[in-house]
Structure 1
Amino acid sequence: MRKYIRLALIVLVSTLFVFQAHAQKKDNCVFFDTVVNSHSQIFPFSGIPSAIEMALKQCKAVDLNFYKLQNDWQNKTDGSFSDFDKKKLYGVTFYQKFKLPRDVNFPLDSLFQTIDKELKLGRKVIIALQLENGWPIFVVHKRMPNGEFVSYSKFGNNTLIVRNTKEIVKKSNGTEIMTYSTGQ
């Protein structure tokens, strides 16, 4: 009898792990397929509001056709994360974090722990990444088994995917991020 109970428990636990892995995969696909693929950055310099819109769409605070923030911003070149710091938009409040000098004293471990924490809570993180052509804005989507982060951005209708977010941030000696919360 014990043998059958143990076997039933093993099958039950295995089924739960498979279900959990499938649900996680489905959640990841939903963000990419629904939010990222349907979204566009409509102006060359509207990366910040574009990423904010993706976060709002992920939270289901706005519909998939929402582009008000980018339309208001257009090609503003003197904007920054501070334009949205502590702003509540459609029930979602955004917070600028790690606005610090980018140097050897930048708290990289703290930054990466903050991103990990937000991802574990089911929230995306908005991040500026230094690439060869400037500082485009990305949405950190998930943590890979090797510890790296996968981030998405848009350039018009084209999706940009970065799979070495941590490496880029380390080379830049840090960066700013935006987090958000709902219902406050």
Structure 2
Amino acid sequence: MKKNLLHLILILLVSTAAIDRSSAQTNNSAHDDFFHTVVNNHNQIFQMSCIPSVVEIILKYYKAVGFNFYDLQNEWQNKTDGSFRNFDNKELYGITFHQKFVLPRDETFPIDSLFQAIEKELASGKKVIISLPSDTGWHMFVINEQTPDGEFISYSKLGSHTLIVRDTKEIVKKSNGTEIMTYTMSSR
């Protein structure tokens, strides 16, 4: 198990030059809270639990669950046939998740519409869950912000290692599209 996790870490680090495990620097306090308080204190506890892991990150960011909450990953464990559809229209602790852009990844994929949808969510103060390719398949990230030049910065975990992707748009363009998950908050 540890050997497989180490292998996956190395593949992601070597194959995706965009992954940077260094600390991101910004003056944005919302970014600091998300990155330092939530992402750095979260772990992906199973090799194949990246989908529930990013959902847990969102739940932790909104303080819907405590920092020791890993129930979704513990239930999922190393499920290999899961996807965003497992969380589509699912309400968890006052947050309902929505799968979007479930389309073929080819030259007809509406990448501009995808990017506009992400920008709209970010502008409203929300995060966006995104699936990005890796050598072993796909890994899930949370888009936290858009840079002044328009690029998206995404975060994830692989075990206890924090992954940072600074060229999310470029990766999506090269893969001819991807799925995202957005969410709505229940009125409390």
TM-score by length of 2: 0.84
* Unaligned runs of at least 5 residues, structure 1: 1-23
Superposed CA offset, 1:32-70 (max 9, x none): 001000000000000000000001111111111110000
* 1:104 and 2:107 aligned: yes
Partner letter of residue 80 of structure 1?
S
Superposed CA offset, 1:87-127 (max 9, x none): 00000000000000000110001100110011111111000
> What is the aligned counterpart of 1:136 among 135, 139, 157?
139
Query: What's 2:59 paired with?
Result: 56
Question: What are the within-5 Å matches in structure 2 for residues 37-48 of structure 1?
Answer: 37-48=40-51
Query: Secondary structure of 1:130's match?
Result: strand
How many aligned residue pairs are there?
A: 162
Q: Give the Cα separation in 2 of the matches to 1:181 and 1:91.
A: 9
Q: Give the Cα separation in 2 of the matches to 1:122 and 1:99.
A: 24
Shift of 1:132: 2.6
Question: What are the within-5 Å matches in structure 2 for residues 14-93 of structure 1?
Answer: 25-93=28-96
Q: Give the Cα separation in 2 of the matches to 1:28 and 1:54.
A: 14
TM-score by length of 1: 0.86
Structure number with greater CO (CA < 8 Å, separation at least 6) is 2
Q: Give the Cα separation in 1 of the matches to 2:133 and 2:80.
A: 16
Structure in which a larger fraction of residues adopt helix: 1
- Across the aligned residues of Structure 1 and Structure 2, the Cα RMSD in angstroms comes to 1.2
Q: Give the Cα separation in 1 of the matches to 2:52 and 2:90.
A: 12
Q: Give the Cα separation in 2 of the matches to 1:139 and 1:179.
A: 10
Question: What are the within-5 Å matches in structure 2 for residues 102-181 of structure 1?
Answer: 102-181=105-184
Report which of the two structures shows the higher radius of gyration computed on alpha carbons: 1
4+ runs deviating over 4 angstroms: none
